[in-house]
C-alpha cells in the first residue's frame, strides 16, 4: 500500500470510530433529554447536531479549542445565510477524553449585526 492509500484507510477508520462514538453519545445522553429524539432530527444542516438551541461539534480529541470553535463558527455562518436561526450555545465534545466544552455565545448577535450593517 502506498502513502495515499494508507492515509485514506486511516481517515476512514478515524471517521468510523468518530461515528460510532457519536452514536454512543447520542444513545446515552439524548435519550435522557427526549426519548422521541432521533439522530436524524439532531444532525442536520451538515452539523454534528443541533438540539434545543445548542450546536454540537464532536471530535475524537480536541487538541485546539480555537480551531474547533472556528469550524463551528463557519457552520453558524452557513445557517445564518440560509435564514436558519443561529443556536445560542456551542458545545465542543472531545469523545476520547469524555469532555465537553461549553461556549455560551453571542454569535447570533454578532452575526446578525455583521449581516445587517448598512452598506450605504
C-alpha 111/C-alpha 14 separation (Å) is: 33
Asked whether residue 117 carries a pLDDT value surpassing 50, the answer given is no
C-alpha 111/C-alpha 100 separation (Å) is: 24
Rounded to the nearest integer, the mean pLDDT of the chain is 75
At 87 the pLDDT is 87
Q: Which of 27-41, 46-60, 67-81, 89-103 has the lowest mean pLDDT?
A: 27-41
Asked whether residue 118 carries a pLDDT value surpassing 50, the answer given is no
User: Can you read off the three cell numbers belonging to residue 9?
Assistant: 484507510
Amino acid at each position: 500500500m502506498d502513502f495515499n492509500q494508507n492515509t485514506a484507510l486511516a481517515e476512514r477508520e478515524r471517521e468510523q470510530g468518530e461515528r460510532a462514538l457519536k452514536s454512543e453519545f447520542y444513545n446515552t445522553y439524548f435519550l435522557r433529554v427526549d426519548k422521541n429524539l432521533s439522530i436524524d432530527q439532531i444532525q442536520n444542516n451538515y452539523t454534528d447536531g443541533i438540539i434545543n438551541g445548542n450546536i454540537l461539534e464532536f471530535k475524537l480529541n480536541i487538541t485546539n479549542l480555537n480551531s474547533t470553535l472556528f469550524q463551528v463558527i463557519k457552520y453558524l455562518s452557513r445557517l445564518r445565510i440560509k435564514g436558519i436561526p443561529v443556536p445560542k450555545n456551542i458545545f465542543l465534545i472531545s469523545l476520547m477524553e469524555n469532555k465537553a466544552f461549553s461556549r455560551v455565545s453571542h454569535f447570533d448577535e454578532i452575526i446578525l449585526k455583521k449581516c445587517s450593517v448598512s452598506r450605504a
